[in-house]
Amino acid sequence: MNLFLLYLLLLKATATTFTGGTTLPVIREEFVVERKLITDQQLSKAVAIGRLGPGPNATYVISVGYYIAGTPGAIVGYLAIISPAFLAILFLRVLQGRTERPRWQGAIKGLTAAAAGLMLANAIPIAQDAITTTLGACIAAVALTVLASKKVDSLLVIGGAAIVGMIYLR
């Protein structure tokens, strides 16, 4: 794949979303469904790798770039992650003082609800690919319950699930 096109597609995902997790639907649609450059399994691995390391949730975009185009793809993924931050500086200048207005608050709430719906819609196919055993379903249920309680860091949940998977899901 052309690296410039890869950059533009990853930039589209990172620039049109508000947190690292909301890039997932855009990336899945573009690279798994439309272009078939990676699989749901590879995307799941990329997300897991991104969550295991330090930094923002969007770091999995680097792994997606790597799966598609090797080391140059990883570099392109990194550039796609940092580019919106530079654009945000300009955007914040334009919005300065306006975000407290009710109309902008409503727009932000609407965008957040839409992003949550997109993440849920795209989580189902990824879960179907990853949860293939009863034990896998139990791990997913426990992880969801623990994460919903907001009392345990997600890194600990992912690490614990990885350990259980290594022991029992060989």
> Global pTM?
0.60
pLDDT tens string for the chain (170 positions)? 899 999 999 998 888 765 556 788 889 999 999 999 999 999 999 988 887 777 777 789 999 999 999 999 999 999 999 888 887 777 777 777 777 788 877 887 887 788 778 778 777 877 887 788 898 899 999 998 998 888 888 888 888 988 988 888 76
Element (H, E) at 27: helix 23-27
Q: Phi and psi for 66 in degrees, rounded to 5?
A: -65, -45
Rounded to an integer, what distance in angstroms lies between the CA atom of residue 53 and that of residue 156?
Answer: 12
| pLDDT given for residue 158 in this prediction | 84
| pLDDT given for residue 63 in this prediction | 93
| pLDDT given for residue 20 in this prediction | 58
| pLDDT given for residue 74 in this prediction | 96
| pLDDT given for residue 21 in this prediction | 62
3-state secondary structure 112-156: HHHHHHHHHHHHHHHHHHHCCCHHHHHHHHHHHHHHHHCCCCHHH
| pLDDT given for residue 142 in this prediction | 92
Structural contact between residues 122 and 52, judged by C-beta atoms closer than 8 angstroms: no
| pLDDT given for residue 37 in this prediction | 95
* C-alpha separations of 56 from 23, 32, 142, 170 in Å: 12, 22, 24, 30
Structural contact between residues 81 and 14, judged by C-beta atoms closer than 8 angstroms: yes
Rounded to an integer, what distance in angstroms lies between the CA atom of residue 26 and that of residue 12?
Answer: 8
